[in-house]
Structure 1
């Protein structure tokens, strides 16, 4: 049985309190040390002592990149990448193929840490992290300084790639205290082992497995905290300026029929032999297939088992495209409900059957496992609480709008929005809408991302601030 320890002060620590982590069939999977809330103060003090203001960031970047290459290829702590994916699947119910792909996504982001930082700094270069200055024009500069030293990170268990966030904070010179998600302590532990193996100073990281009682302690003792959670945690932390809170995404896709073209499943050839509609477009830097609108929309909902906060929770169809939404619903309904360890599985299993039954979806039991049946539920009124509701499964609501209707009121409050439209004015309005965090135009799924790209704003804008800075004309330093 695997064991996940506490990590602080650059080494493993034991705990008198150990939690037994079970898999999605209820079988014992791992023993996880539990850090008491009273330990947070000491762990953060150790991190502060390890936080060197003049740390060699370029050396840290090299080691993070090396750790990324190890993460997806090496045996770490006696665990291969394949075994790690199996453990994550058993612990979370996520399909095995998705767990393996997620590890590769995280590893790629770490290996490309320099490129990721270009998204984070003003001017599109990591230079401000090295110099502490921003130069908007020759002879003009301002300071670029961290607002603290210690970041708390309250991790979820829905997707391993979220751990790139705290790795980027390390790359920016911060030290980090991570509270792993309850179901997936394996991923942050593997990341830590990869960093240590690559020569990264591991005393700059604390791994503190534990319960909800650790969250207020992290917020109190750390300078900034990034947290993921649901409405209950949002009500506790959502208005705290020290916290960057990531709640349900409620991401959406808008499809204009004049942008789609051909009816689903029956693309009309163009004179050059290419079919019309989505087949004539290429998704920008996207792995999804854009060969027909049904395939595209299913992938927006189904990708990574629907567990990402950027998977589509609602599809809006503006105009007349008979059968399009019905075809998507039928494709989702036909998905087999398989054991997540089956390489063909696409739908996650739920460890907590009671939680599955509380969702707006249909909870079903197959071979002793609980699933929320994949669905696109049509005709849900926007005032209905089910509209756009996010659950960690390939489940979404579909809504038809008349041609010419303004969809923006229904798109507000979305983490990510994909606009399949030719209406430039709508694109501009959505780009300026403060409640939409990510916007994609054309056949780019809402879950599309690039390492370091803004998620809920830029992480660096939360961790750094600009300062007035001016040097005398006469050389002074």
Structure 2
């Protein structure tokens, strides 16, 4: 299997050597590539053609899921799958796959998304590491941290007592975003737990799931358990309807479409935050807060969207704002770039950020907007850029109302009672105490809960001792 290439591309973005031809991303189903009469042109952040992407019709979903369901019913050796996934992770970062090197892949992702090239390289390494460490990642998912329940479908809470722990279905739909490649570890973990998966790639990054598929195939994984269905938004309700479970990433429009469907694990804006108590401020706090906002170009849903300062720390927030404002706005292919470019200038102008045009590229200028009232809609608003807001509270005030509704929260506090309250708060999904950024994670660690809690359920189960007649 190899990349197909078209020679219609007459130009290339600066620094894009090695990507001199238009790539083609096919549909993948039934263990092989499939063509489509409907093909869209994916353009880079300067408007040049970058890839031709096949578009799967929504009517294809029913047949594809039926094929996946049949594949998932076949007996499978899970430990062998884990070995293949781990091998694929090593190939992902080090090997040429389909004629595309890891470095060229990172350039493709940068050109298609506007993410800085250093971030694209680091994201590929993060995804590869998670796959290579798939057994460790799975230990985060099981009820007792052991792999045995995935093999026996039983858990033993106490000696002589057991219950079933079984999948709630066979086929997972995955509605992927384009903000960060590492999210694709989620559907790989579902494969590792015995599910088959239908992936709809993000509109701007079909390259990462395609590379993962190529790596898995090269490693010997039974790729008939995977479907890759690039396409339009009409694929989303079709996948939700026909798959047993669906993991989806998106904004308010997609959330409104999916509603409260219990078959869907929806991941929307993170609105992640950092609380800083004045008595916890140290010499490294400014650099730490900048890092919380800036990591991966601010594109992760766990990058800080808001900072809450409780008490008096003169100059702290101003210093963070100054460092962000001074960041240079460079072409994303520049190794020194830290700020993403926006492919859609109109979308950038709809944000509360300051839009800047540099060398024909559109940026939202990095910022920490000071003294934003918590009731202001800008407070905690999430942009795919290093842009955040800051609010101040008097010493002793209760910050929890401002921290609710956050995917991730970091507390720089010495108040143990606040830590306990935040840990118990159901609208905070991830909690870190001390100088641990909200975007910190380990492969397989809970994100919006554990994936396995969405894909598996406990079942009462007891067997009488034979003979029982």
Query: Is the pair's TM-score, using the shorter chain for normalization, greater than 0.5?
Result: yes
Match of 1:405 among 394, 397, 412: 397
Contact kept? 1:71, 1:190, Cα under 8 Å: yes
**Pairing partner for 1:361 from 353, 359, 362:** 353
Report how far residue 475 of structure 1 moved: 5.8
1:41 is matched with: 62
Which residue matches 2:368?
376
Query: 8 Å contact 1:18–1:32 — kept in the other structure?
Result: yes
Does residue 2 (structure 1) correspond to residue 23 (structure 2)? The answer is yes
Find 1:310's aligned residue among 286, 302, 307: 302
Deviation of 1:466 after TM superposition, in Å, equals 0.1
What SS does structure 2 have at the residue aligned with 1:85?
Answer: helix
Residues 340-375 of structure 1: per-residue CA shift (max 9 Å, x gap): 000000000000000000001011100000000000
- Structure 1: 5+ residue stretches without partners: 268-291
Residues 1:171 and 2:192 aligned together: yes
Aligned to 2:120: 99
Map of 1:62 onto structure 2: 83
**Residue matched to 1:131:** 152
Residue 174 (structure 1) shift: 0.1
2:409 aligned residue: 417
In structure 2, the residue matched to 1:111 is 132
The Cα offsets for residues 164-215 of structure 1, whole Å up to 9 and x where unpaired, read as: 0000000000000000000000000000000000000000000000010000
Matches within 5 A, 1:313-392: 313-392=305-384
Structure 2 counterpart SS, 1:443: coil
Q: Tell whether 2:69 aligns with 1:77.
A: no
**Contact 1:23–1:351 (8 Å) recurs in 2:** yes
**Where do 4+ consecutive residues of structure 1 move more than 2 Å?**
473-477
Please show how residues 152-301 of structure 1 align to structure 2 within 5 Å. Answer: 152-260=173-281, 262=282, 267=283, 292-301=284-293
**Shift of residue 238, structure 1, vs aligned partner:** 3.5
CA–CA separation in structure 2 for the residues paired with 1:474 and 1:430: 50
- Counterparts in 2 of 1:358 and 1:336: CA distance versus 1, 3 Å: same
Q: Distance in 2 between matches of 1:63 and 1:238?
A: 36
State the TM-score, normalized to the length of structure 1.
Answer: 0.93
Quote the residue 2:8 is aligned against.
none
Q: CA deviation at 1:9?
A: 0.1
Kindly indicate whether the alpha-carbon contact (under 8 Å) linking 1:238 and 1:245 is maintained by their aligned counterparts in 2. Answer: no
Q: Secondary structure at the match of 1:63?
A: helix
Using the TM superposition, give the Cα deviation of residue 471 of structure 1 relative to its aligned residue in structure 2, in angstroms. 2.0
**Alpha-carbon distance in structure 2 between the residues aligned to 1:180 and 1:460:** 22
Structure 1: distance between partners of 2:85 and 2:317: 44
Shift of 1:476: 6.2
Q: Report how far residue 54 of structure 1 moved.
A: 3.5
Structure 2: distance between partners of 1:60 and 1:354: 45
Asked if the contact 1:21–1:29 (Cα under 8 Å) also holds between the matched residues in 2, the reply is yes
What are the superposed Cα offsets for residues 243-284 of structure 1, whole Å, 9 maximum, x if unpaired? Answer: 000000000000111122x4xxxx4xxxxxxxxxxxxxxxxx
Measured after TM superposition, the shift of residue 474 of structure 1 is 4.7
Structure 2: 5+ residue stretches without partners: 1-21
The TM-score with structure 2 as length reference comes to 0.95
Q: How many residues align?
A: 448
Tell me the CA shift for residue 132 of structure 1.
0.3
How far apart, CA to CA, are the structure 1 residues paired with 2:259 and 2:386?
A: 26
8 Å Cα contact 1:118-1:126 kept in structure 2:
yes
- How far apart in 2 are the matches of 1:253 and 1:105? 23
Structure 1 residue 237 displacement after superposition: 1.1
1:287-329 CA-to-partner distances (Å, cap 9, x unmatched) read xxxxx00100000000000000000000001111100000000
CA distance in 2, matches of 1:328, 1:97: 22
Secondary structure at the counterpart of residue 135 of structure 1: strand
TM-aligned CA deviation for residue 125 of structure 1: 1.1
- 1:143 equivalent in alignment to 2:157: no
1:470, distance to aligned residue in structure 2 (A):
1.3
Partners of 1:237 and 1:250 in 2: CA distance: 20
